[in-house]
Amino acid sequence: MSLNSPILRSLLVLLLLFAWAAPAAASPSGTGLSGFMDGEGDDDGDDGDDGEDDGDDDSDTNESIDDALEQVNDALGMAEDAMQAWEDWDSLDEREADCGANYTRDAGPVVPSSCADSDACRRCYEDAVRAIDFNRFYIERARCITAANVRMANSAMAFGDSSSGVHGVTGLSWSLAGKPQIEKAVADLKKTYVRKAGDYLHEIDRSMRQLGQCEAEHFGERDWYQRYGWLYVNFMRAKYESAPE
């Protein structure tokens, strides 16, 4: 049920390497930011035109400062995306292990039942409730695991999008190979979740109908499912039917 984490983790490592190597590839000579180092040592000695060029020099300097600030902001954004991707990656196994650990029967909606307090139909009631609890536990666990993997994939793609603009080669590799693979893995995972969630929801609905039969047989509550069970099942569908984003 889990996303193919080794693929995503390998792609994330490659993205980190691309992001760190791209600035050096873009500036192999190690030159500084444009506007701050350009022209140093190229003074031709013609100081007579300095007065005429002051306006152009000021404009060029301001433009260079703006460019430099934009580069700094881009670098900070990329670093933030990288840290988020790394944190989501590093905590993925722990979050998966915790899925279902805090599950309790009282976590969902409650429906009234006369059979719960009756010796006559307690066996019928317990069988239905046992099946409901079983499927509720596993649908919650499936959603939790899916959400953890989707979150890591989204962080990896956000980092890839921000770092791919550093260098043309990196951007091309990311758009043609890296991102499509992650998107496909996420799409496949969501399809698997929706299919499994449908199975669990079907069993929950079947058990609710069984519980309604218990109420009808022992207490004459022939519309119990329509009054209570249907609402419970639709609450569960609204919460679990769609894959997490």
Band of residue 239 on the pLDDT scale cut at 50, 70, 90:
very high
Q: Distance from CA of residue 137 to its chain's centroid?
A: 22
Band of residue 142 on the pLDDT scale cut at 50, 70, 90:
very high
Q: Are 244 and 150 in contact (CB under 8 A)?
A: yes
Band of residue 119 on the pLDDT scale cut at 50, 70, 90:
confident
Instruction: Give domain limits for the chain.
Output: 119-245
Band of residue 102 on the pLDDT scale cut at 50, 70, 90:
low
Distance CA 229, CA 202 (A): 13
Q: Are 149 and 92 in contact (CB under 8 A)?
A: yes
Q: Are 193 and 1 in contact (CB under 8 A)?
A: yes
Average pLDDT of the chain, as a whole number: 73
Q: Are 155 and 88 in contact (CB under 8 A)?
A: yes
Q: Residue 22: its pLDDT value, please?
A: 47
Q: Are 92 and 57 in contact (CB under 8 A)?
A: no
Angle at 200 between CA 197 and CA 202, to 5 degrees: 105
Hunting for tokens 């536990």 — which residue is that? 137
Q: Distance from CA of residue 60 to its chain's centroid?
A: 43
Q: Residue 244: its pLDDT value, please?
A: 94
Band of residue 177 on the pLDDT scale cut at 50, 70, 90:
low
Distance CA 245, CA 189 (A): 11
Q: Is residue 134 scored above 50 in pLDDT?
A: yes
Is 28 strand, coil or helix? Answer: coil
74 φ/ψ angles, rounded to the nearest 5 degrees: -60, -40
Q: Is residue 35 scored above 50 in pLDDT?
A: no
User: Where does residue 152 rank: exposed (0-12), middle (13-18), buried (19+ CB within 10 A)?
Assistant: buried
Band of residue 200 on the pLDDT scale cut at 50, 70, 90:
very high
Share of the chain above pLDDT 90, in %: 34
Nearest alpha-carbon partner for 109 in 229, 241, 209:
229
Q: Is residue 47 scored above 80 in pLDDT?
A: no
Distance CA 161, CA 185 (A): 17
Distance CA 81, CA 155 (A): 7
Q: Is residue 54 scored above 60 in pLDDT?
A: no
Q: Residue 219: its pLDDT value, please?
A: 92
Q: Residue 242: its pLDDT value, please?
A: 96
Q: Is residue 173 scored above 70 in pLDDT?
A: no
Q: Residue 162: its pLDDT value, please?
A: 73
Band of residue 136 on the pLDDT scale cut at 50, 70, 90:
very high
Nearest alpha-carbon partner for 2 in 177, 192, 155:
192
Band of residue 38 on the pLDDT scale cut at 50, 70, 90:
very low
